[in-house]
Amino acid sequence: MPDRSHSTFREGVIVGLIGAAVVALWYFIIDLAGGRGFYTPGLIARVLFGLPEAQAESFGMIALVTVIHLSVFALIGIALTAMLHLGLRHPAWRMGVVIGFVVATGFISGMMYALGPASGDRIPVWEVIGGSLLGVAAMIVALRRHHAALLDGLRGVALGDETESPPHAPGASHGDLRR
């Protein structure tokens, strides 16, 4: 029977759902603190579907936005997990893992921050960046539980030093560009 403990798809979906739950909880707490209930998912529904506020904050729309939110994060989790698995097999890809987490943070922040102008509302930058950082940090922690060797390996070797330089022709120097 095949070992399914490191299925990229399954592990990526779990990692993505963890990130999605953390981000959803972040915005739920902010919405409750502002006395706005499910304001953020309603805002997303207004922008995605062009609905008035009353319809956008209905149970059905909140549920649909939640499914979309979970699906997007599952895809992000799958991509990050695939990059991590690639980094485990090929050390030269370790920098790609780091860049992947930076891109994920930027993507999540950008998507949320774009909701402000699209809806006419203003979302504070600290809310957007805070939620993105927490979501990506949660995904890193989830991946770290199963892949501590990669992250430990990043500490021991400077990025860029994971691979050897290609061999040079005998007698050629690095600065010799003549052919």
* pLDDT at residue 167 greater than cutoff 60: no
What value does the mean pLDDT take over residues 163-179?
50
In this predicted structure, the answer to whether residue 159 has a pLDDT above a threshold of 50 is yes
Does some domain include residue 171? no
Q: Which of 24-33, 77-86, 139-148, 169-178 has the lowest mean pLDDT?
A: 169-178
SS3 (DSSP) at 107: helix
Instruction: Kindly tell me if the per-residue pLDDT of 1 is higher than 70.
Output: no
Side-chain half-sphere CA neighbours of 44 within 13 A: 17
**Integer Cα distance of 69 and 72 in angstroms:** 5
Q: Is 162 among the domain residues?
A: no
Q: What is the dihedral of CA 26, 28, 34, 37, to 10 degrees?
A: 170
What is residue 12's predicted lDDT score, i.e. its pLDDT? 94
175 located within any domain: no
Let me know if residue 3 belongs to a domain: no
Q: What is the pTM of this model?
A: 0.75
The pLDDT confidence band at residue 20, using thresholds 50, 70 and 90, is: very high
What pLDDT, on the 0 to 100 scale, is given for residue 94?
75
Average pLDDT on 107-111 reads: 79
Domain assignment present for 165:
no
Question: Domain tally for the chain?
Answer: 1
Asked, for residue 1, whether it belongs to a domain, the answer is: no
Q: Is the pLDDT of residue 26 over 90?
A: yes
Give the separation between CA 9 and CA 14, rounded to whole angstroms: 9
Q: Is residue 173 part of a domain?
A: no
Range of the structural domain that residue 21 is part of: 8-154
